[in-house]
Amino acid sequence: MVDINPPTSENPSVIVPVHPAIEGYMRGLVEKTDHPVLLEMEELAVQKSFPIVNRLVGIFLETQAKMIGAKHVFEFGSGYGYSAYWFARAVGTDGRVICSDGNGENKGRAERFLASAGLWDRIEFNVGMAGDIFAQTDGPFDICYNDVDKGEYPEIWKMARERIRPGGLYIADNVLWHGRVAVESYTDIVLGWTEAIVAHNQMIFNDPDFDAFINPVRDGVIVARRKDG
Ligand SMILES: C[S@@+](CC[C@H](N)C(=O)[O-])C[C@H]1O[C@@H](n2cnc3c(N)ncnc32)[C@H](O)[C@@H]1O
């Protein structure tokens, strides 16, 4: 078998799930989704090395939300609104995206960007710990989207799974953690995060009430659908 993702000498344990040439090809197919606000948000991510989901995953999120007619989405870890941009497009004028982020500066940035895109009136942006905000927000939810600090993934899954409607989705980013979940020896960014993601993924795939799949684009996005009835 040809190894198209050779480990680098810089970090022998980290592997890129999808070959960069394939991601580049896929990115080229979606140029029609360019929007001035989106380009500005993507530029800011580069400048600040801020981990937004990126264009391909954004389109994936919007598509997933549209496929189930989502109107009520909760985001754990919204940053400055990039992933919310895609969910807000999907939920339409009568839908709501509840955002949460621990950094208050992100709320101001999100408001500026999403207002420019004509989407701010679909957003409720709360500053604070995502789990606390979730506990104070009425459900059930069509989608719970998790993108907080990775050590918290198992707890967020446990609290979210209860409050997703039948047929609704749990989605989480970074579940391949640049390949660390798939190798025995790795260097983690924060001690314990890889173990937390591994435990999170295992719980979801073992949960009898959900069907799950990982889309390996970028850093891996898990989608788990709550079974009906
Ligand atoms: C990966 S970024 C989110 C990116 C965003 N989903 C996007 O794609 O545009 C993670 C964000 O979650 C926030 N965060 C991390 N842990 C959190 C927590 N427990 N509660 C609230 N916010 C948290 C950070 O401040 C950061 O802005």
Asked whether the predicted pLDDT for residue 12 surpasses 80, the reply is no
What is the reported pLDDT for 13?
A: 58
CA angle 42/45/50 to nearest 5° reads 145
Strand partners for 74: 98, 144
CATH number of the domain that 122 lies in? 3.40.50.150
Cβ–ligand 1 contact at 106 (below 6 Å): yes
Residue 152 CA: nearest ligand 1 atom is 19
Strand partners for 33: none
> What mean pLDDT do residues 67-88 have?
98
Q: How confident is the model at residue 77 (pLDDT cuts 50, 70, 90)?
A: very high
11 is a domain residue? no
CA of 173 to the centre of ligand 1 (A): 11
Sheet holding 221-226, edge to edge: 123-127, 96-101, 72-76, 141-146, 164-173, 221-226, 210-215
15 is a domain residue? no
Which range of residues forms the domain containing residue 158?
A: 20-226
Domain count, the chain: 1
User: Which one of 76, 101, 113, 146 would you pick to mutate in the ligand 1 pocket, going by the greatest count of ligand atoms within 8 A of its CB?
Assistant: 101
Residue 85 CA: nearest ligand 1 atom is 9
5 is a domain residue? no
4 is a domain residue? no
Does residue 131 contact residue 152 with C-beta atoms inside 8 Å? yes
What is the reported pLDDT for 118?
A: 98
The pTM of the full predicted model, rounded to 2 decimals, is 0.94
Residue 144 Cα distances to 1, 103, 156, angstroms: 38, 20, 9
